[in-house]
Structure 1
Amino acid sequence: MPPTTKPLGLSEPLYKYIADNSLRESGIVRELREETERLPLSVMLTPPEEAQFIVWLLRLINARRMLEIGTFTGYVTLWSALTLPEDGSIITCDVSKKWTARGMHYWKMAGVANKIDLRIAPALQTLDQLQAEHYQNYFDFVYIDADKENYLSYFERSLLLVRPGGIIGIDNVLWGGSVIDEQDQGSDVCAIRELNAKLHQDERITLSMLPIRDGLTLAIRK
């Protein structure tokens, strides 16, 4: 999980100002976030300003089909499903029935459960299954926010599943600033450093690493 929930490089008053003058959560989206924030592993929650940026991107590219790797309580899933058009769909994958059950409750209340295909299995297994089901070049947007040691494998499989011109978003690419701390050789931060370095040299994509909260890389498949 991320080493910090604090926005990098922002004072608390400035962060509050940004949230107060930018964040627009609907009531049910906010309710799920607030419930999640009370959980022991709330640090795994995508911050609201980042989630809002993701759904803004969905609107910008007129996305209809989304793949999410790492559901947790389904906060991003819910907001995305509310944003996608009526014929839109999300495939979201996680290993936990416990955490995703919270999201399913809110998805039903919001009337978007019909848009969401939740797959409970190790993500690599699900991604390989999607290839077997002929989902290559299918998704408009892929969001990766799961176990960091498999990030590079998730990216490689996502690149096969996203359409040309589609976007892959990867969370936690700054890892609380630890990516520049050479004394930190933990498995998570090393995996993120490797991913960042390889994406920078990858000619199959155009990319931008954004300092939103804990870092968000956006990669467009050429």
Structure 2
Amino acid sequence: MSLKSLPLTDELHAYLVAHGAAPDEVVRELMEETRAVLPAEAEMQVAPEQAALLTFLTRLVGARQAVEVGTFTGLSALSIARGLVDGGQLTCFDISEEYTSVARRYWARAGVDDRVELRIGPAADGLHALPHERYLDFAFIDADKVGYPVYWSELVPRMRPGGLIAVDNVLRGGRVLAPQDAGDRAIAAFNDEVLADVRVDVVMLPIADGLTLARVR
């Protein structure tokens, strides 16, 4: 038996999604609209199994205060917001009014818009302006890859002990082994930085384009 993760055919991936938390009508329509309206950018949307995992993890840590860096059309934020405890709040950072206008509509349809605060502007500045205390329960990083080290440096000191950070696209389609552009090089260096960070316990998972989970000590 192989010790590596099983390669997923389209059929096996569909089976996996169907036997986890399968997308409901709102999620399906959000995914479909994103592919139809933004076909060149649709790959930036999290995979359906990632969306389900984000809700699961948010619930698992009992998150009340969460942050997302990189919102796009809102699927990951919707998933996190659904997992928050009653009265919980998700603060999202993004630079695109166009993409997030789609997100706002689907948050409202899902009934989570009262839990989401969207801040348009550079995420580094927005994160730096957050309270300087360990109050965050959950964070998700999925924005410009060159910015990952800055986002990490702002988030880790603000995470409560036991808080969880999820980081997307840490495999870059496998190119972390032989970086081809600035984004690849940034992620390869970032992965090494996270591995050496004594403030966290880390696991990297082969979900979609690679997902790192870091538990803050």
> How far 1:46 sits from its partner (Å)?
0.7
Pairing partner for 1:145 from 142, 145, 148:
142
- State the match for 2:169 in structure 1: 172
- State the match for 2:71 in structure 1: 71
Q: Does the 8 A contact of 2:20 with 2:52 survive in 1?
A: no
Cα distance change on mapping 1:30 and 1:103 into 2, 3 Å: same
How many corresponding residue pairs?
A: 211
State the distance in 2 between where 1:61 and 1:89 align: 14
Pairing partner for 1:216 from 208, 211, 215:
211
Runs of at least 4 residues off by over 3 Å: none
Pairing partner for 1:194 from 189, 194, 206:
189
Does residue 161 in structure 1 map to residue 158 in structure 2?
A: yes
Q: Does the 8 A contact of 2:55 with 2:82 survive in 1?
A: no
Between 1:9-18 and 1:113-122, the stretch displaced more is: 9-18
- State the match for 1:12 in structure 2: 10
Cα distance change on mapping 1:135 and 1:157 into 2, 3 Å: same
State the distance in 2 between where 1:123 and 1:169 align: 16
Between 1:144-153 and 1:18-27, the stretch displaced more is: 18-27
Kindly report which structure 2 residues correspond to 1:74-85, keeping only aligned pairs within 5 A, or say none: 74-85=74-85
- State the match for 1:36 in structure 2: 34
Q: Does the 8 A contact of 1:8 with 1:214 survive in 2?
A: no
> How far 1:83 sits from its partner (Å)?
2.4
State the distance in 2 between where 1:28 and 1:185 align: 37
Matched residue SS, 1:212: coil
Does residue 27 in structure 1 map to residue 22 in structure 2?
A: no
State the distance in 2 between where 1:26 and 1:86 align: 21
> How far 1:12 sits from its partner (Å)?
2.4
State the distance in 2 between where 1:58 and 1:177 align: 27
State the distance in 2 between where 1:174 and 1:135 align: 31
Unaligned runs of 5+ in 1: 1-6
State the distance in 2 between where 1:22 and 1:178 align: 29
> How far 1:106 sits from its partner (Å)?
1.5
> How far 1:135 sits from its partner (Å)?
5.0
State the distance in 1 between where 2:13 and 2:113 align: 33
Matched residue SS, 1:173: coil
- State the match for 1:3 in structure 2: none
Matched residue SS, 1:81: helix
TM-score by structure 2 length? 0.92
1:86-116 deviations in Å (ceiling 9; x for gaps): 3011000100001001111111222221111
Q: Does the 8 A contact of 1:93 with 1:120 survive in 2?
A: yes
> How far 1:8 sits from its partner (Å)?
9.0
Quote the sequence identity (%): 40
